[in-house]
Amino acid sequence: MAKLNVFNHVSLDGYFVDAKGDMSWAHRSDPEFDAFTSENARGGGGVMLFGRVTYQMMAAFWPTPMAAQQMPEVAATMNSAQKVVFSRSLKKATWQNTTLIKRGLVPAVKKLKEESKKDLVIFGSGTIVAQLTQAGLVDRYQLIVNPLVLGKGRSLFEGVKGRVELTLNDTRRFKNGNVLLTYSK
């Protein structure tokens, strides 16, 4: 059975986007962190799952010449990977290798976990992270804590009812001040 992983940036005060929905603050580049990002991309990452907002943001950037120039390995992986976008309002998904699922997030992800030969990974997409956390379907969380306070924004776990106990599996500190925390359920 495939595992479902969440990979996301959060601020020190726990937000994955600021009050305006922006997450450009999460791009604190330095050679060490850039190498980590490229290394992750070379690993193939598995099937990528997105909500509509994150999908549209990613689809607007990764297929562009600018993405290929700035981060060629990551762009190649993002564009060639199998992608699934969950949206009731999106009419069609035009980014290569993308399947659009309009209804039934939890049953669809259960089926993907059962049938996929590759692990699943969610980038961004706080709404689906919260729903899949609530359903007990997320196996691992990799959170990059960025050294800044936003004051307001959206929590990655908005709407989760009750306690979710996790186990800390690993930490990694980067020179740019980011810290990677890896948890499993």
Region label for 102, one of left (φ > 0), alpha (ψ between -120 and 50) or beta (otherwise): alpha
Residue 25's alpha-carbon distances to 2, 15, 143, in angstroms, are 31, 11, 15
What is the residue extent of each domain of the chain? 4-184
Q: What is the mean pLDDT of the chain?
A: 92
Report pLDDT for 108. Answer: 97
pTM of the model as a whole: 0.90
Report pLDDT for 43. Answer: 58
pLDDT tens digits, residue range 47-96?
999 999 999 999 999 999 999 998 888 899 899 999 999 999 999 999 99
42: pLDDT confidence band, cut at 50, 70 and 90? Answer: low
Residue for token digits 């599996």?
169
Across residues 169-184, what is the average pLDDT? 95
Tokens of 81: 């990977």
Q: Which CATH architecture has domain 4-184?
A: 3-Layer(aba) Sandwich (3.40)
8 A C-beta contact, residue 180 and residue 142? yes
Q: Is the pLDDT score of 113 beyond 80?
A: yes
